[in-house]
A and B are shown apart, each in its own frame.
Chain A
Amino acid sequence: MTKLGSALFNRLVIIIPYAWLTIFFLAPFFIVLRISLSETAIAMPPYLPAFNFADGISGIGEKIGQFSFANYVFLAGDALYMNAYISSLKIAVISTVVCLLIAYPVAYGMAKAPSTIRPTLLMLVILPFWTSFLIRVYAWIAILKPEGLLNQLLMTLGLIDEPLIILNTNWAIYIGIVYSYLPFMVLPIYSSLEKMDLSLTEAAQDLGCTPIRAFWRITFPLSMPGVIAGCMLVFIPAVGEFVIPDLLGGSETLMIGKTLWNEFNANRDWPVSAAVATILLLILVVPIMFFQHAQAKADGEGR
C-alpha cells in the first residue's frame, strides 16, 4: 500500500513541472503561433480568423484551413526584420562575451577568497537586485548623458575637452546590458568554482603544470557548466531585450525586442509581431536543443 502510495506520489511530483510547462509555456506558445498564422483585421482581437466555441469542431477545422504563412513571407521579404534579428544577436553575443570576461575573474576571486568573507562578496553581487531594474537603467541615463556624471568627471579630470556622446548609441546599450546581466554570469561561475576540489589544481601542479597551465587544463574545463549556464542566462534575455535599447539606445539601434514592441503597440499588427516572436523563439531554442543533445551524448560516452 505504501509502495503504491509512493509510486503515485512520484508520478504526481513529475507531473507538476510538466503541468507548469504546459500551462505557462506550451499553451501561450500555441496561442502566439496561432496568431502568427492569422491575418490582421480591424476587429477585436485585431486578427482573423477568430475562434468561437459556438462554431463547433467542424467550424474550427474550417478556420484552421484559413491559416496562412503570409506573415512569415512578409518577414522574410522585409530587410528590416532580418537586420533587427542579426543586430540583436550581435549585441547579445558581444555583451555575453564581455560579461564572461568580466565575470570570470570576479567569480574566481570570490571562490578563492577566505570563506569568512565569501558571504559578504556574494551579497554584494546580489545587492543591485534590491533596486528596481527600471530605476537602475534610468540611473545610467543620468550617468551617460552628455552633461551626465561620467562626462563631468572626465572633463574635471581634464581627460576630455568636450562631452562624449554615449547615451543613445550602441555603446550605451552594451554598457546597460553588461551591467544588468553581470550577476547572472557571476553566480553560476562562482558556484561551479566554489565547489571545486582544491587538490585538483595541486595535483595538476604536482604532475608538472605551471599554475597558469593548471588553470587552463583543469580549473577552466571543470567550470564549463557554470560558464555555459551563465552565458545562456545572459544571452537569451539579451537577444530579446527591450527596456535597455528603448531607454539607452538611439534611433539607429535595431533590436528585435523593440521591433516587436512597435509592431504590437504602435502598428497594432498582432499577427506580424506574433510571427516575429515565433521566429525569435526558434532562433533561441533550436541551437540550445542541439547543444544539449551534443552535451548529453558527450556525457554518455565511455559508459
Chain B
Amino acid sequence: MRVIRGETMKSLGSIRRSFAPWADPTSVPFIVFRNVTKRFGDFVAVDDLSLNIYPREFFALLGASGCGKSTLLRMLAGFEQPTSGEIILDGQSLAGIPPYRRPVNMMFQSYALFPHMTVEKNIAFGLKQDGMPKADIAARVEQMLKLVKLDKFAKRKPHQLSGGQRQRVALARSLAKRPKVLLLDEPLGALDKKLREETQFELMDLQQQLGLTFVVVTHDQEEAMTMADRIAVMAHGKVVQVATPAEIYEAPNSRFVADFIGDVNIFDGTVSSADNGRVQIETEAGFAVRVVSAEQPAPGAKAGFAVRPEKIRVSRDQPAGVPLNAAQGEIWDIGYLGDMTVFHVKLKSGKVVKASSLNAVRAVEDPIGYDQEVWISFDENAGVVLKD
C-alpha cells in the first residue's frame, strides 16, 4: 500500500524491486538540479528546472527532441554551463568544474570511439589519463572486456566491429573509470529492435551488479519504461512529471503525459459532482463517467477523463451500471496484432474510442466483427481525471 496525494490506493502497476528512495523523506539525493536554466541566445533549452536523483537509481529523461533532455545531461557532464541555478553531485556543487575533473562518465549517442585506437586502448584511455599503473590498467581493461563479453575483440579497431559491439565498447570505456554516475545519451538508438530489447535488460543487470547511478536520455518511451526506476517526462525545458513507469502510465498528471506515453482515450466534459473520492463527469461523448479520483475538481469545472485502451471492455451485451461508465457504438475498425486486438468503436456522438483486448485463446467462437453494435464500458478505477 502506498500513499498518493493523501489517499490510500493499491500499488499502481507492477513494482520491479523494492527500491524507492524518492518516497523516503530521510534519504539524501545524489544529484540535485536546483532551479537550473540554460539559454542559447533567445532559446530557453532548460527552464528553471529542479530535480532530485537518488543513489543507485536508474533515471530516465524522456521527451521529444528539443525538449532539453540532452542539454540537461550535457550540463551534468560539464560540456554546458547552466545560465543560472546549481547542479550538486554527492553534496558538491559542480559549478566551474570542467568535464575532465567530474566523477561522471558519459556514453555518447554516436559512441565516440577513438577510431585510431584498438578496443583495448579505447577502454584504457581514461585510466591512462588518471596515471593508473600499467598492470592495474591491464587488469581493469580485461575485467571490463569480460563484463561486456568482448574479450576476443581486444585488438580490433572500432571500424572492424558491428554496431552492437561498438555500443559495448562505448559502455565498457565509460564504465572503466568506475564513475559515480554514468550518463547515457540515447544508448540504444543506433541498434536494431531485437538487439535493443536484449541490451535493455543487459544494461539493467549491469546497473544492479555495479550499484551505480545511471542517468539515461531517450526519446523512446518503451526503452524508458523498461529500464528506468523513475522517468522524468520533459517538454519545453521543463519536467512535466517525475514518477515510476507505472505511475506515469497509470496516473499521468496531465494531458501531455497521458498522451505522450502510450495510447489513451480522453473524454472531455463538465464535472457534475465530486464527493467521497469520486467524481462524476458529463462527457461530450454523450455519457456520464463516475470514477474514483484523488483529483476533486469543483462541480461545473471542465475536466477530462483519461482511460487506456486495454482498460475498456467491448461487449455485445449491455453491461451493468448503464448509464454510468458505458456507452453504445459500432465497430469502426479492427486491428489484429496477434497478441491483442485493437477495436476502434464509433460512439453515437461520433467520438472514436480505442479499446484493446488480449487474445488469450486461439479461436473465439463468434468474434466481434465490423459494423456490429457494441457497448464499451470500464471500471470506476480504470483511469484518471485530468483538470484542465
Listed in ascending order, the chain A residues whose CB lies under 8 Å from chain B are 197, 199-200, 202-210, 213, 217-218, 221-222, 302-303
Contact = CB atoms under 8 A, between A and B. Distances in A.
Contacts of A199: 108-110, 112
A202 B98 contact: no
Given A207-B177, A218-B114, 12 more contacts: A202-B77, A203-B114, A205-B78, A205-B98, A205-B99, A206-B105, A208-B177, A209-B100, A210-B100, A213-B129, A302-B118, A302-B157
Given A207-B126, A208-B130, A213-B129, A302 B156 contact: yes
A208 B129 contact: yes
Closest 7 A-B residue pairs measured CB to CB? A207-B126, A208-B129, A203-B112, A199-B112, A205-B99, A199-B108, A205-B100
A203 B118 contact: no
Contact of B115 (A208, A213, A222, A302): A222
6 contacts: A199-B110, A202-B106, A206-B106, A208-B129, A209-B100, A213-B129
Nearest to B105: A206
Given A202-B99, A207-B126, A209-B100, A197 B116 contact: no
A93 B123 CA distance: 38
B11 interface: no
Contacts of A206: 77-78, 99-100, 104-106, 174
B208 interface: no
B375 to A, nearest CB: 55
Contacts of B126: 207-208
Residue picked from B78, B100, B110, most chain A C-beta under 10 Å: B100
Contacts, number: 63
A200 B129 contact: no
B79 A207 contact: no
Contacts of B110: 197, 199
Contacts of A222: 114-116
B112 A202 contact: yes
B125 interface: yes
B238 interface: no
A197 B112 contact: yes
Contacts of B2: none
Contacts of B129: 207-209, 213
Contacts of B79: 202, 205
B346 interface: no
B146 interface: no
A42 B155 CA distance: 66
Interface in B98-139: 98-100, 104-106, 108-110, 112, 114-116, 118, 125-126, 129-130
A208 to B, nearest CB: 3
B230 interface: no
A221 B157 CA distance: 15
Contacts of B104: 206
Contacts of A208: 100, 126, 129-130, 177
Residue picked from A203, A207, A218, A303, most chain B C-beta under 10 Å: A207
A218 B113 CA distance: 10
Nearest to A214: B100
B93 interface: no
Contacts of B160: 302-303
Nearest to B108: A199
A203 B177 contact: no
B308 interface: no
Contacts of B108: 199, 202-203
Contact of B155 (A205, A213, A221, A302): A302
Contact of A221 (B109, B116, B177): B116
Contacts of A203: 106, 108, 112, 114, 173
A301 to B, nearest CB: 8
A271 B105 CA distance: 67
Nearest to A201: B112
A231 to B, nearest CB: 18
A197 B109 CA distance: 12
A170 B373 CA distance: 99
Contacts of A303: 160
B319 to A, nearest CB: 56
A123 to B, nearest CB: 27
Contacts of B77: 202, 206
B145 to A, nearest CB: 15
Contacts of B118: 302
Contacts of A217: 125
A210 B99 CA distance: 9
A207 B115 CA distance: 16
A222 B129 CA distance: 19
Contacts of B98: 205, 210
A209 B126 CA distance: 8
A209 B127 CA distance: 10
B255 to A, nearest CB: 36
A207 B125 contact: yes
A78 B109 CA distance: 64
Contacts of A210: 98, 100
A175 to B, nearest CB: 35
Residue picked from B106, B112, B173, most chain A C-beta under 10 Å: B112
